[in-house]
Structure 1
Amino acid sequence: MSATTGYDPAALRVLLTRQEGNRSVMYTDTTGNKTVGIGHNMSIAQSAFVIDALYSCDVTGSEKSLDAHLPWWRSLDPVRQAALMDLMFNMGWGSLGTFTNTLRAFSQGNYDAAANGLLNSLWARQVGHDRSTDLAGMVRTGAMPDWMQS
């Protein structure tokens, strides 16, 4: 039992999982709401707590994926680590893993080639000038973008 309620949180999870289901991919429920997880309604405004929890899970997932696929990333300076985290966060390994030449250049410390690889990609055209030039600049120079300095 919970210290502040009369119900058993573990039993409630079992009950709600049976009633709501547990889906890792967003779906539309019977009333038309976008839903994910154990009945989490994505059609309503999310609290700061939920936003922070989702962000924390996404960052942890990105770190684990980088650890699994690019174990050398932890030896980079903090700015280049942040650039790889941003890329992983944005693309996931399925897309980032296709940047074979860029990642090879990155791992070899050839940051000019890695930055150029990012800028000359479909990804750069999709995310736009600001994000692509910010990240390419971080990779090339090892410095955060100017707008973060103030």
Structure 2
Amino acid sequence: MNKVFICAFLLLALTSANPVRSYFESFFSTSTGGCSCSGIEAMVAESEGKRSCVYLDTKGIPTIGIGFNLQRSDARSLISNLGLNYDQVVAGKQCLTDAQISSLFNNDLVWAKAGAANCVGSFNSQPTCVQNVLIDMTFNMGKSSLCSWPNFVKQLAAKDYAGAASNMQGSAWCGQVKNRCTRDVNIVKNC
């Protein structure tokens, strides 16, 4: 019985246009629309880092996992939902497992993807790698900052990836995040 269920699940998951497949593919390398990139969790972790125990980010904010701010208003409840003691986590006495890190990241991924889609009307028609770059940018700078790039948004809508990449490269954001920007620019430029 279990083998039949697993085979049926895998068959369902491997059919194209399946949301289960799309979900799992988001964690692995993707090649679509002539460009290629890592899955979104790997992309963000590459820039934000991935740490199982609390650390102070560049602004001195207690952080854990993949850039998860422990001072945000919902941090206590999200950490508690993982079966952890928030105060122990903040004190560095309790760390996260990889599964718990992914759970926190997936919560933020929903927010970042919705924010990117809200700012970039053509989000859903973009190649997966461009979507990942937009999610990565939203994760890093926030929705309001991404929404303040109207020329970039127009270039993406027109599928002018060279122009969009140039726009990114000339931004103050690029000067601040250097390696992250270089990676994201190269992904967009090659789509």
TM-score (norm 2): 0.52
Which residue number corresponds to residue 51 of structure 1?
101
Aligned partner (choices 86, 89, 113) of residue 163 of structure 2: 113
Runs of 4+, deviation exceeding 6 Å? none
User: Counterparts of 1:56 and 1:124 in 2: how far apart (Å)?
Assistant: 25
Segments of 5+ residues of structure 1 without an aligned counterpart are 1-23, 28-34, 143-150
In the TM superposition, what is the alpha-carbon distance from 1:46 to its structure 2 partner? Answer: 2.9
Q: Structure 1, residues 16-71: CA drift from partner, whole Å, max 9, x if none?
A: xxxxxxxx9817xxxxxxx9323723332333333111100111111122233323
Distance in structure 2 (CA, Å) of the matches to 1:43 and 1:50:
17
Radius of gyration: which is bigger? 1
- Cα gap change, 1:43/1:100 in structure 2, threshold over 3 Å: closer, same or farther? farther
Task: Read off the aligned partner of 1:116 and give its amino acid letter.
Answer: S
1:89-104 equivalences under 5 Å are 89-104=139-154
Matched residue type, 1:40: Y
CA distance in 1, matches of 2:98, 2:154: 38
Counterpart check, 1:126 vs 2:176 = yes
Listed one character per residue, the Cα deviations across residues 68-110 of structure 1 (whole Å, up to 9, x for unaligned) are 3323111111111111111111111121111121121112111
- For the Cα contact (< 8 Å) 2:112–2:138, is it kept in 1? yes
| Residue equivalent to 1:17 | none
Q: SS at 1:26's partner residue?
A: coil
Residue identity matched to 1:136: V
Identity %: 22
Q: For 1:1-150, what aligned pairs fall within 5 Å after superposition? A: 26=71, 36-38=75-77, 40-41=86-87, 42-44=90-92, 45-128=95-178, 130-142=179-191
Structure 2: unaligned runs, 5 residues or longer: 1-68, 78-84
Structure scoring higher RCO (CA < 8 A, sep ≥ 6) equals 2
TM-score by structure 1 length? 0.64
- Contact residue 119 and residue 146 of structure 2 kept, 8 A: no
Alignment size in residue pairs? 111
